[in-house]
Homo-oligomer: A and B are copies of this chain.
């Protein structure tokens, strides 16, 4: 059922009911929830789960590399469990909505060593910002 849970189990992650529901809620494609949304959905399955635990768990999943954190400019961060299929994001500057995109063209060139200034680069993110269809319409009417 849950790929995410499966992988976590395999990595020896200590499993509690709270962690299980967080993983369940996040599992799937094109899921981009805020911490608060994760908490709300998790609470439907496990009413007593606390926000702090949701934040802790999300932070851990991000550290483990199982979930990607997407900043949406001022608004709350969103969490994307689709960490194992490289993709980029389209972010609406007005409502924060996110869509996954997989530009067919040139895959992201790594930063040449000469340009790294001593940094240890671990990820490259490409974010396309603009207005989603709904917000484009709202603003032009």
A-to-B contact residues, CB < 8 Å: 69, 71, 73-74, 77, 90, 92-93, 99, 101-109, 111-112, 115-133, 136
Nearest first, the 9 closest Cβ-Cβ pairs linking A and B are A118-B133, A121-B130, A71-B71, A105-B109, A122-B130, A125-B127, A120-B131, A120-B130, A123-B129
- The reply to whether A109 and B118 form a contact with Cβ atoms under 8 Å apart is no
Q: 15 additional contacts, CB 8 Å, given A71-B71, A122-B130? A: A74-B77, A92-B119, A93-B122, A101-B111, A101-B115, A107-B126, A108-B126, A117-B133, A119-B130, A119-B131, A121-B130, A124-B129, A125-B125, A125-B128, A126-B126
B104 touches A107 (CB 8 A): no
